[in-house]
Structure 1
Amino acid sequence: MARNKAFDEKEVLKKAMELFWGQGYEKTSMQDLVDHMGIHRRSIYDTFGDKRSLFLSSLAYYEEFVANEMKKILASELPAKQAVREVFEFALNAAEHYPAGCLAVNTAVELSLLDREIAELSTRMFKDTEKLFGRLIEQGHASGELSKQLDPDSLSRFLHNNLLGIRVLIKTDYTKKELESIIDVTLSVLD
């Protein structure tokens, strides 16, 4: 007879995500995962597979978490420029509750040159964010808030590049005020 799991799979996956987010893949040992997730090593292997498989599941969990936050911003029906600001503010304020920076950025920097699948996943996640910005720009075009001379593809890549920069700088000693000033200048291209 199969035994019931004595843990909430989503909750322990969230813990693994946060550990990988804070420490990176290479620095995180299986013992770190056992200790942080609060479950036995055998349970990790039985439920998630090896460390790499757990990492990929953690990355998918992170992607879903971020996508849900972005969907909330899209559904808010804010003016386009304010919605774009909300995306930046989400990245800035997430550091108050989660490890600093961005798991997708950390993963791309740490592993993309070493692992083709990780490179493809990172690229896809980045492209999804660009698509979000593109939709917001097109909404701004449709409402008349943003000039139609602003190319959604180029501008979405520009905004995403700046968002990535913010996510990196959050991990340093830049103050929130300094980061907010970078956001202000970035968003000035929408005027």
Structure 2
Amino acid sequence: MAIVVEHEKRKKEILEKSLELFIAEGYEDVTYQKIADRCGITRTTLYIYFKNKREIFSFSIKQLTGDVERQLLEIIKQPELHSVDCLKQLFLKIFDIAESNCKFFKVLQMYLMQLEKGGVDINERIKKRVIRIQHLMSTIIIRGQKKGEIKNVPVKDMNDLFYSLIESGMFRLGILNQTNLDQMRSIINFTVEQFRV
């Protein structure tokens, strides 16, 4: 009797286990064989799903950012929530997720440095991954301005300001080795309140 394999389910499991491995050992120390071993499959089977370690890591990042986006959409889907409070909750959720994945940011930093050494424009790569978060922020800002809950200032400027605060939080985690973003939470709360009507 043939064994039925749910390919999407297996692919998701590979990505989850690989991400755990990348976080535990760092990008450079993880090999394709280690990923196969962690997943309990052969290298040949792993090649059915991914062509190399870089592709696995890239898909792991995509899966993580997709999960983040789904959590943020749950906040946005609360129409009774004041737009300013919605923005605050969005940022606080981002910081909560970032804190709980701070080891991942270290691995991501090393990965990006390796890409940059290889001539890859890392700014473009990062932009691709965060554009949806920026779009979500713009959605809340526009909705809040239409409802008269947020001051009528240029959406792009407000979005850039808020995004720079997120970047500051990620810098603190990834570069400064801080594990607590409470100060950034206070800054976000203060800044967002300045736009309440």
Question: Given the two structures, how large is their TM-score scaled by the length of structure 1?
Answer: 0.78
What secondary structure, in the 3-state scheme, does the structure 2 residue paired with 1:180 have? helix
Alignment counterpart, residue 185 of structure 1, candidates 177, 180, 190: 190
Alignment counterpart, residue 156 of structure 1, candidates 156, 159, 163: 159
| Number of the residue aligned with 2:170 | 167
Instruction: Answer with 120-129 or 96-105: which moved more.
Output: 96-105
Q: Is the CA contact (8 Å cut-off) linking 1:59 and 1:104 kept in structure 2?
A: no
How many residue pairs get aligned? The number is 190
Equivalent-residue separation in structure 2 for 1:190 and 1:30 (angstroms): 49
Q: Which stretches in structure 2 are left out of the alignment for 5+ residues?
A: none
Pairing 1:134–2:138 present: yes
Alignment counterpart, residue 125 of structure 1, candidates 126, 129, 154: 129
Cα 1:81–1:24 change in 2 (3 A) is farther
Cα 1:74–1:59 change in 2 (3 A) is same
Cα 1:145–1:157 change in 2 (3 A) is same
Q: Which stretches in structure 1 are left out of the alignment for 5+ residues?
A: none
| Number of the residue aligned with 2:53 | 51
- The Cα of 1:23 is off from its aligned counterpart by 5.5
Equivalent-residue separation in structure 2 for 1:12 and 1:157 (angstroms): 35
Q: How does 1:7-22 map to 2 (within 5 A)?
A: 8-20=10-22
Using the aligned pairs only, state the percent identity: 21
Instruction: Answer with 15-24 or 52-61: which moved more.
Output: 15-24
What secondary structure, in the 3-state scheme, does the structure 2 residue paired with 1:146 have? coil
CA RMSD for the aligned pairs? 3.3
Which has the greater radius of gyration? 2
Alignment counterpart, residue 78 of structure 2, candidates 66, 76, 79: 76
- The Cα of 1:187 is off from its aligned counterpart by 2.2
Question: Given the two structures, how large is their TM-score scaled by the length of structure 2?
Answer: 0.76
Question: Which residue type is aligned with residue 92 of structure 2?
Answer: E
Question: Which residue type is aligned with residue 83 of structure 1?
Answer: C
Equivalent-residue separation in structure 2 for 1:14 and 1:152 (angstroms): 36
Equivalent-residue separation in structure 1 for 2:104 and 2:190 (angstroms): 20
Deviations 1:115-141 (A, max 9, x none): 547653321222222211111110110
